[in-house]
Structures are given as C-alpha cells and as structure tokens.
Amino acid sequence: MKDLEFSKGAIGIGKSIVRHVKFEASEIGLDLSEIRFVQPIEGQIEFFRLTEDLFFKGEFRTSVRMTCRRCVDPFVSDLKTTFSLRFSPTVPSAESEDLTDRSIDGEVVNLTEDAQQSIVLEVPCWPLCQRDCQGLCSSCGINLKDQNCFCQTDLTETSPFGGLQNMLQSANSQEK
C-alpha cells in the first residue's frame, strides 16, 4: 500500500513529514472473521529522520461492527490505536527489549504490517455492547438487556458457591 510506504531519501536529516492516510481494511489485508469495518481506516503518520535512523509516530481510527459475546446483538464500536517505531541501519540486538526497533532493509520502509498489528491489537477479545450487558437468560433465552425474565433459577446456576449451599442444607437436614 503506497500510503504506508516511506522512502528514506524523501526526507532530510532533522526534518519531519506528516502524512494523512485513509484506506480500506482490505487494502492492507485485514480480513477478520468476527468483525466488519464499517468505515475506512483514517489516521496520520509523522515520519522524521535523525542521522540514519527513521522514526514513525502515528495513530489510526476506524469503526467496526461486532457481535456482543453476552447478548449476541450486533453493535458498532470505535477503535483508536497509536504506534511509535524506530528503523535503524543496524540490526537490533537480541537483548533489546524494545519491540519498536527495526532494521532498515533497503531505501523504502513499508508500515503495512505494523498498521495491521496495531489495529488488530485494539480489537477486543471479548466484545461487549455495554460493560454491564446482562446477556441472555440461560433458561428461556430472553435478552435481559431488552426485557426482564421471570424464570426461577436454581442457586447452583447463579452462584459459584451454590453447590456448597446445597451441601450445607443437606448436612443441616441430616443433623436434625
């Protein structure tokens, strides 16, 4: 993707360039099965050079449609990510703990893979439409976000200590 390619020779030492970018997720190979991008990915990347090192700092924004893991309703969520990278002509040492250091391979730096990773890391592993989403009733399947359920739930289903409660009741009845 040309918008995410930067030529080392395009900028002088001590100079910086800001590039505004806008592209579809499919243009950088983002095809995630559980989400759909509902608008293009937009952002800006600042590219600056000090001696032979190249530095990139930027952000991406987009909106995605996902399915809530509790109530199974679709919802749209905004994603925003930032990144910071350094490219150097020398290969980073194995002891380097800084995962943002990379080596320059040629005259052009392509940030496509870095953009993919940055965006994917912002997608929640357990998407929820609301932080306090109640989900579906385990007995009747009613969406508890939309309406109340009057199912009688057993204590063993609703509490992790429900089994202990049953054992206690059983022990008390045997003592009598």
Residue 20 CB contacts under 8 Å (≥ 6 apart), including other chains: 42, 43, 44
Question: CA 4 to CA 19: how far, in whole Å?
Answer: 9
**What gap in Å lies between CA 36 and CA 101, rounded to an integer?**
31
Q: How does pLDDT run along the chain (176 residues), one tens digit per residue? A: 788 998 888 888 888 999 999 999 999 999 888 899 999 999 999 999 888 888 999 999 999 999 999 999 999 999 999 999 998 887 655 555 555 787 777 788 899 999 999 999 999 999 999 999 999 988 888 998 888 888 866 555 566 776 777 777 777 777 76
User: What global pTM score does this model have?
Assistant: 0.74
Burial 121-157 (b: 16+ CB within 10 A, else e): ebbeeebbbeeebebbbeeeebbebeeeeeeeeeeee
Helix (H) or strand (E) segment spanning residue 157? helix 155-158
